[in-house]
Amino acid sequence: MNARTSVCEFALNVVGIEKAYGRTRVLSDVSFGVKKGSVHALVGENGAGKSTLVKIITGVIESDAGEVRLNNSFVRFKTPTEARAAGVAAVYQDPKLFPHLDVSENIFMGAFPMTAWGGLDRRTMRERASATLRQLGVNLDLSSLVAGLSMAELQFVEIARALCHDLQILILDEPTSSLTPAESGRLFQIIARLKAEGKSILFISHRLEEVEAICDEVTILRDGRHVATRETKSLNRAALVQLMVGRPLEAMYEKRVATRAGREALRVERLGLQGVFADVSFTLRAGEIVGMAGLVGAGRSEIAQALVGMNPPTEGRVTLNGKIVTPKNPGQMLREGLAYLPEDRDGQGLITAESVVDNVTLPIIGTLAHLGLIDRDRGRRLAEEAVGTYKIKATGVDQIVSTLSGGNRQKVAFAKWLATEPSVLILDEPTHGVDVGSKAQIHKIIAELADKGLAVLVISSDLLEVLAISERILVVAEGRLVAEFSREEGTQEAIMMAATAKLEVADVGV
């Protein structure tokens, strides 16, 4: 806040917030304000203190020092319900709803309208729920169980729930991490509508392009400290990243110095899955990183899932380490030397309710067994080596994976599949949902794996990432491989032209 800004312009102020867990200081003297009727970004690496600050604002935990002000009045919420009643609500990337209740019941959970004789006034509840959803421009069946809704629709229900309490501050924590581009666009329209109505939004996201597009101001946290609060338009991407991580953007996407590729590790010939993709051919060599780019829905993940036997291909041939194989299931392909780290890291790549050691050793449990007994000491040693090798920030190998940050969960997923010692590794959106600092660390891991002779296919929507770490780039559009670029030929413009052009004119270099 600068001297020219009146206090009354702010809907929310945090002043001198401090928080520590034991000897670990999470937040140190954090102060900033969110203006009325604005979209304010809160950014920083994983571990910067963003989530802790949100929990303090919404009454999940108490700060050790400092205060929170709502419309310049001191508040100290004891519970999220109390914060919501005062008009402060948070919507997380994993919405906190009741799956076996319907839409209207979830919207009014904890604040049901009652009849004069003490019963639930369902008519009023549905009328008000319908009006609130109309206010958001959202059309949902009020009687539908939320268990059947998409991730975007779940978030819309959460926002509607917040509006029923005279919403003043809406906190959105990584709201687009599981949304399609179309769903994200719809969410941004709702944000714009709320802003026009004078509501204030605190927007937390790793996707800096979203911050640039929809936010008026941005606050940067680093290592639990407030670094800066600036108008978004005053910062370019490079300056924003440097404030977040303390080093330039170029260092985040430092190009790998390629080594000489070795033997052919994977050959894919005219691979197809009926109704999904067709006529896909490419090769991977030992020590080589090949990127696969394309728009969401182009068929990139489907190609990977066919190769590992999750959805076996209906045509084509796969040769792995000189041996023709027919993908039938992931277990079979893993035994053949092909490992796959899926985009849905938490749902398909990890057992988040289990420990680091249990996740890392799960794929190799058979090799740890002798005469029917599992050598747990050896498993712990392997997990401890993985924690050191991949610089996983954890209290130890017994820490539950769900309590780790996104970047560290991704590193556990790497360790899990690399424990099988594959010769070919397919990574589907390997840096999805992680901060720029963790992204750089993951890039380094990928480069080191290739340097050791692994053949790596990286599927990514981040073109800067693809261009930085790949020796060749394959482009997929509408279920077909439409272009291939060398590192020298590849540019963001060329890749996007190929990804969006008609197939008949984009079929080059394949």
Question: What would the pLDDT profile of 214-242 be if each residue is shown by its tens digit?
Answer: 999 999 998 889 999 999 999 887 788 78
Look at residue 109 in the predicted model and tell me its pLDDT. Answer: 78
Each residue's pLDDT tens digit, 339-371: 888 877 666 777 878 888 888 887 777 777 666
In a domain, 9, yes or no: no
What is the spatial distance between Cα 244 and Cα 29, in angstroms, rounded to a whole number?
Answer: 17
What is the spatial distance between Cα 16 and Cα 226, in angstroms, rounded to a whole number?
Answer: 10
In a domain, 392, yes or no: yes
Look at residue 506 in the predicted model and tell me its pLDDT. Answer: 36
One DSSP character per residue, 7-63 reads GGGEEEEEEEEEEEETTEEEEEEEEEEEETT-EEEEE--TTSSHHHHHHHHTTSS--
In a domain, 457, yes or no: yes
**Which of 14-23, 43-52, 144-153, 175-184 ranks highest by mean pLDDT?**
14-23
C-alpha angle 290-295-301 in degrees, rounded to nearest 5:
60
- Checking if the pLDDT of 407 tops 70, the result is yes
In a domain, 365, yes or no: yes
Contact 440, 252 (CB under 8 A): yes
What is the spatial distance between Cα 440 and Cα 458, in angstroms, rounded to a whole number?
Answer: 15
In a domain, 490, yes or no: yes
Side-chain half-sphere CA neighbours of 313 within 13 A: 27
What is the spatial distance between Cα 13 and Cα 32, in angstroms, rounded to a whole number?
Answer: 6
User: pLDDT grade, residue 504 (50/70/90)?
Assistant: very low
Contact 161, 130 (CB under 8 A): no
Higher pLDDT, 31 or 404: 31
What is the spatial distance between Cα 232 and Cα 218, in angstroms, rounded to a whole number?
Answer: 6
Average pLDDT over residues 146-171: 82
Contact 14, 68 (CB under 8 A): yes
User: pLDDT grade, residue 256 (50/70/90)?
Assistant: low
**CB pairs under 8 A, 24+ apart, for 238-243?**
240/43, 240/208, 240/211, 240/212, 241/208, 241/436
Look at residue 341 in the predicted model and tell me its pLDDT. Answer: 85
pTM: 0.60
In a domain, 431, yes or no: yes
Look at residue 510 in the predicted model and tell me its pLDDT. Answer: 32
- Checking if the pLDDT of 196 tops 70, the result is yes
Q: What's the CATH number where 405 sits?
A: 3.40.50.300
The number of domains in the chain is 1
Q: Is 47 left (phi over 0), alpha (psi -120 to 50) or beta?
A: left
In a domain, 390, yes or no: yes
In a domain, 198, yes or no: no
Range of the domain at 310: 264-506
Look at residue 122 in the predicted model and tell me its pLDDT. Answer: 81
